[in-house]
Amino acid sequence: MPAVEVVENGRGKFAVDISVGPHALLADEPAEAGGNDSGPSPHDFLLAGLGACTSMTLRMYADHKKIPLEQVQVRLTRRKIKAADCPDCVTKEGDVEEMTREITLVGDLDEATRQRLLEIANKCPVHKTLTGEIKIRTALVA
């Protein structure tokens, strides 16, 4: 798995160049957060990763099971909500990040198949990463 490198590029207060193996990306913050909006925000990339993983997982499963899935569309949004307003959250004080994932399945699919695909969507590796325990180890490099 290639390492991800992120380097400030000097083209704005927050703008960074991202390298993932042979792929080059750009990230920035929106203007209202002090950036130049020259690229997706870090949270946008997080949502994009979840959406891409969801689509790919559903495609892999549908192809393997020969399900007539013509297209997958995933729309994601996020917002901060008060923990007190989230009855199914573990956190009870402060704010909680809420991500909403809307999946459109195109194809001649019965309701049982649609529900099975929803179950599979919740098993995509990025979904499992985000809903499982995460340990981030950070070190300063000389």
58-75 pLDDT, tens digit each: 999 999 999 999 999 999
List the Cα angle 140/141/142 in 5-degree steps: 120
Q: Indicate whether this model's pTM tops 0.95.
A: no
The pLDDT tens digits for 127-137 are 999 999 999 99
| CB contact at 8 A, 74 and 103 | yes
Segment 2-19 mean pLDDT: 96
The residue ranges of every structural domain in the chain are 1-40, 49-142
Q: What is the pLDDT of residue 103?
A: 98
Contacts 24+ apart (CB under 8 A), 79-84: none
Strand partners, 125: none
CATH level 2 (architecture), domain 49-142: 2-Layer Sandwich (3.30)
Mean pLDDT over the full length of the chain = 96
Residue 91: pLDDT band (50, 70, 90) is confident
> Which are the contacts of 56, defined by CB distance < 8 A and separation ≥ 6?
124
